[in-house]
Structure 1
């Protein structure tokens, strides 16, 4: 009794061309469906017949236009019964009846053999003008884009792609209505060549016409017009139009941005563009949290109002409870703040931001209750550099060593930052490149004795992918280094408010030591004094494990002193290891560190949990 469905196995004999074998294998339904879709003998015969044309197309795609395909079917045998005699060609009209004679439980053995033959090459290449057009003459750039030359391998993919790339080149030159037909081809078996012809229509050079914006509900059309990197009257170029679309989409205002145009020009010969928008959610709520043994836990919520006034403004309100059980904390604190962002302030390359913030900290170094307000502008110089400047005022009450002081501080922070890592999202781990940051903050403390001082800080971090040495796959094994240096000029340590002094210790500087646990301390206490100079360095080895996990080993060192010059004082060193779990929004970080030269009253170890790499 014949099997129904008829199971089978398929073998593809190698041709000696690995790429061609891969193409044949990918084209064959016999191979791709043999394990999942067994069919009746008659249906299997149909599958064999269909594979001939599919496999011939694969040969032709690699320039083998005189090749052939042979399919042979035999009884592969089974656990019982004698196998059906003989073998049959896949085109044998008696194949269905013979397959009926294969006993149940036997698999049909199908063997595919390809005979590529002599590879064909490009012969005559002709570019015909469309009806009514002048003869086609390509300039040097268009010739390079087209790429078709006599003598090239006559691979179908290249022949088809040549017309597409030529049309793209023409439209980038402003020929908005340009078209290049699919090629016509003539085989020349006697010379093993393929003659090809394309029909080319240039049309006129076109400028952009009027823009239409559809789907805007809360967003002002004037903001979109200002934000766009293209304008009516400019040369039509699809690549610039697409970059403009992506730029608008990057504002985060919209869940979808599309741009289209018709097949006809406006009466003035320009090409109008139709932009369609789907606005995103206006409000969102998020949660924030983290933990370290020195600062304890922090938890809170964030509420965001997007597109506040219709020009992409963003208001974000955040409420955090801090100091949940940390060794550097004496009690609970809070951090409440409101951020207002005004993008494209005066220029599409700069943003204005403002913050109003209330802070309470119960640190061992000092207790602080403060209200601050600041406003600033961040200007993007280019894709790697940005600068910022602004102003800040702060009214605070600070208790240190049972002494209470009030301060009113006015500051003018200035900073410059460079990012050569190529990473747009700051939470995404960098694998190569350098980051630099430098700031200077002239400040005046105007209460309890006026003092003027300037805080100067600089940080550099660099990342080296061991792929460059051939030791790993890209992004799997990375060495990372960070160096930080700071200095305060203009006032002595105790003339500077405690929260404006320099400290070290914690995840941002020297792990293994509690927050502000590196540097001079008040005698017989664990209270940090702070200093006027600080330096710290970190070295990490980061290793990805499988897809979602990773491990880190690190060593940190740093020092703080009241001297005017960095690199003074007692160097404290910490070392540790950590684990990473990679999520779509960044790696979840868990690090454990110990001090290698623990000071008196210092913690024996520290634990850090957060989102994103330490630097």
Structure 2
């Protein structure tokens, strides 16, 4: 009996509080969605997946006056300066009665800005004046000025409101005051890391033109070394000079191990093991070992990354990174089995919007046909080839881009004079364009591949295949071969792979996608006369802390029985 009384005593305050809550509703609202008003008040309704919950909002009456004032401020910020909002309350409901009255509208816009900054002024004459939009425009212009190097610019913005005429006159006046420069750069870094390693991550030096984007890129590039627990870059401005202080603290845990199991559409169940040591032998070097095991694929690799390995030719303090990748693999294709030993040596450099990656690779490949398969050569192949890859990347994000372009061109050439079994050239170029309008993002992507064999044939696995999350999504990874081949799933020497995708974000973190993919693969070099394999599909998007999580399903337009489902983290554009 005592326990029951105690429970009742403990629970009674909860019921008293719940009973004191009242429903909140709005009357006379003509201009805004109710969700928009609730967001302005800091209130939320249950999410779309919580369909079983009451969608009506309840509040504590003692906060109603504060919410009323917040609502009045919201209407003022949206141009309704004379809005009359009253509160009505009964036993169950609190009602905000809204009489918005006439809004203030934009009468004139005066700006002495050049086109690259005037584009941010997206007010139009006759449009309702919004204080929040006015402030956002100023923030965007100042942000662009810092990106362009004008750290000392004076931007004067004014909105003259005439409540009698219900008009606003907007004035924007800009004084750039000259470009800013980077001044002294002080480094405070761990003793076992040379200063040149950190300088190699900076796309600027003392005397270079200042840009806030260069600072942002420096954070990203230094973080990419994976050698530091914390990165602090302090900017000290002296008129048109920005002095920097960079402080880095070393990572306490240098060795990481990962063991896991997973599943891939083409490989089936798989087991993986990764071991890596950061700051290996100092200077932010990294060494890693990776193993992957499945029924179709057995793979082991060793990678060494050495930042600032040597200076860039014709420069004194710009550096090239070295990366060496050694691997051994076995893969069971549908028509043949392959064993491969490879070693690829890279010298690479990222500089602002550009990247260059050059080096030399060798591959020892053993092909064993499964029966008499036309056009597939078995035996062993030794390939030795120099390669180079250029990249231009103006995307605003590499994880989830909203605007920008990406262009890459890759060329490798095997030459018998370098003891390669085959003399050939392989070219692969890709272009992407991304543009966003509010919640809608549209991306267009195209890829061109050409292979020319001058002496002897390449092994089948070096030819072009398509399909997968980054290609034609009606097919699994590399499951689409040349369409003019008499044998199924043969690789091509000419490839055109295109895609158009539209992502619409219904909420901040959740969206839907529609896409169209088209691929042409031809057995011959520079032949574009075969039919395209086209697919359409849809997908869902969720924006997580590690990037967009995507699930896509694509169907072949001419054969709906041919489809594939893809799961990936990160955007495909």
Same fold (TM over 0.5): yes
Higher-strand-fraction structure: 2
Name 1:135's counterpart in structure 2: none
CA distance in structure 2 between the aligned counterparts of 1:186 and 1:606, rounded to whole angstroms: 59
Q: 1:217 to 1:189 in 2, by over 3 A?
A: same
Native 8 Å contact 2:276 2:287 kept in 1? yes
1:228 aligns with 2:228: no
Q: Whose RCO is larger (CA < 8 A, sep 6+)?
A: 1
- Displacement of 1:487: 2.0
Residue 354 of structure 1 and its aligned partner are, at CA, apart by 1.3
SS state at 1:36 partner: strand
In the superposition, relative to structure 1, how do residues 22 and 349 fare at CA in structure 2: closer, same or farther (>3 Å)?
farther
Picking from 388, 395, 414, the partner of 1:422 is 395
How many residue pairs were aligned?
510
SS in 2 for 1:248: helix
Q: 1:456 aligned to 415, 425, 428, which one?
A: 425
What are the superposed Cα offsets for residues 69-120 of structure 1, whole Å, 9 maximum, x if unpaired?
A: 4636475xxxxxxxxxxxxxxxxxxxxxxxxxxxxxx446655455768969
2:60 to 21, 38, 42: 38
Deviation at 1:488, TM superposition (A): 0.7
- Asked if 1:535 is matched to 2:498, the reply is no
Q: Distance in 2 between the 1:341 and 1:7 partners? A: 62
Distance 2:549 2:144 in 1: 39
More off after superposition, 270-279 vs 501-510: 501-510
Q: Compute the displacement of 1:339 (Å).
A: 1.7
Distance, in Å, in 2 between the alignment partners of 1:537 and 1:586 is 27
Q: Quickly say closer, same or farther: Cα 1:353–1:69, change in 2 above 3 A.
A: same
Describe the shift of the 1:214–1:398 C-alpha distance in structure 2 as closer, same or farther (beyond 3 A): same
Is it true that 1:259 corresponds to 2:248 in the alignment?
no
Tell me whether 1:71 sits opposite 2:93 in the alignment: no
Query: CA 1:555–1:458 in structure 2 vs 1: closer, same or farther (change >3 Å)?
Result: same
2:523 — aligned with what?
A: 560
Distance 1:358 1:289, change over 3 A: same
Alignment equivalent of 1:335, drawn from 283, 291, 299: 299
Of structures 1 and 2, the larger Rg is shown by 1
Aligned partner of 1:311 in structure 2 is 283
Whole-angstrom distance in 1 between the partners of 2:217 and 2:327: 37
Q: How many angstroms does 1:313 deviate by? A: 2.9
**1:570-596 superposed Cα distances (whole Å, 9 cap, x missing partner):** x79877787856564653567788998
The structure-2 alpha-carbon separation of the partners of 1:521 and 1:359, relative to structure 1 and needing over 3 Å to count, comes to farther
Once the two structures are TM-superposed, the CA of residue 341 in structure 1 deviates from its matched residue by 2.5
3-state SS of paired residue (1:334): strand
SS for the counterpart of 1:311 is coil
TM-score (normalizing by structure 1) = 0.57
* Cα shift at 1:489: 1.0
Secondary structure of the 2:440 match is coil
Instruction: Quote how far apart the aligned CAs of 1:318 are.
Output: 1.6
5+ residue gaps, structure 2, are 1-17, 46-55, 122-126, 169-175, 313-317
Residue 413 of structure 1 corresponds to 386
Partners in 2 of 1:245 and 1:458 — Cα distance?
33
- Corresponding residue SS for 2:425: strand
Listed as ranges, the matches of 1:40-55 within 5 Å are 43=62, 47-48=64-65, 50=66, 54=70
Q: 1:572 to 1:608 in 2, by over 3 A?
A: farther
Please give the root-mean-square deviation of Cα atoms over the aligned residues, in Å.
Answer: 6.7
Structure-2-length-normalised TM-score: 0.60
5+ unaligned residues in a row in structure 1: which ranges?
Answer: 76-105, 123-138, 195-201, 327-332, 597-603
